[in-house]
Amino acid sequence: MSLDLLHTLNGPPGAPVLVLSNSLGTSWEMWGAQVPALSTDFQVLRYNQRGHGGSPAPPGPYEIADLGRDLVDLLDRLEIQRASICGVSIGGMTAMWLAANHPERVARLALCFTAARMPAPEVYPERAAMARAEGMAPLIDGAIDRWFTPEFAASGSPLVARTRADLASVDPEGYAGCCEALGSMDLREDIKTIDKPTLVVAAGEDGATPPDHGRLIADSIPGAYFELIEGARHLACIERPQEFTTIVLDFLEG
């Protein structure tokens, strides 16, 4: 079943395409700080994963392959044959699946705050059950704690407020299905076949996808680069936008 995912395309027509793939519980708004810099030399395609930011939420459970096929379908509809992909967390897993299964569609990969197999896969069915039973409200505080350092979370930044609002608006069934995809995912063998230029970015205090999981990805993909953002948690792209954007842009333009 092909889903009509919400998407937006910014940047000069005819420029190479860069896809930005969002994390669990967020939307394309998470990339707000990156778009101005990235859309100078790229057509930037942002989309919302199924169940997120108003994209359809079919009944779960989902698998990473479902999210990957969603992206293939979107590229087909937009007549984009090949793109670089930058994904955070489940967005990075979507990118890894695509590069392993449809390498002809991928130019470069930036895999950020992600893992080929989640550190504690058993927690995700529990989160899925909670979302279906109680909605998103009971999950918000724990997610914010995983995503941001305590200082940033308490700073009063409008970025934190926006991220909370994004999470609150996620379709509970879409969130649950994506949680189940995280619980069942194992890309550790698949990524050994990837032969695209690859950047892996990890955050020093990320408990959701710790740096050693990023290093495993980088060690598994020939020639991959590894970068560490110290003193940040899972959504360092929001908390440390300049540092993150510089790392990614240097790689994409390299």
Tell which residue, 203, 244, 228, 221, has the closest CA to residue 86.
244
Token pair, residue 157, equals: 């930044």
CA within 13 Å, CB half, 205: 15
Does the pTM surpass 0.95? The reply is yes
- Average pLDDT in the chain: 97
- Phi, psi (rounded to 5 degrees) for 140: -70, -50
Q: How confident is the model at residue 254 (pLDDT cuts 50, 70, 90)?
A: confident
- The predicted-structure confidence for 75-133, as pLDDT tens digits, reads as follows 999 999 999 999 999 999 999 999 999 999 999 999 999 999 999 999 999 999 999 99
Q: How far apart are CA 16 and CA 80, in angstroms?
A: 10
Q: Tell me what the mean pLDDT of segment 16-22 comes to.
A: 98
- The predicted-structure confidence for 165-201, as pLDDT tens digits, reads as follows 999 999 999 999 999 999 999 999 999 999 999 999 9
All domains in the chain, ordered by first residue: 7-253 (3.40.50.1820)
Token pair, residue 48, equals: 């919302």
Which residue's entry shows tokens 């708004």?
A: 29
Q: Tell me what the mean pLDDT of segment 2-28 comes to.
A: 96
Q: How confident is the model at residue 229 (pLDDT cuts 50, 70, 90)?
A: very high
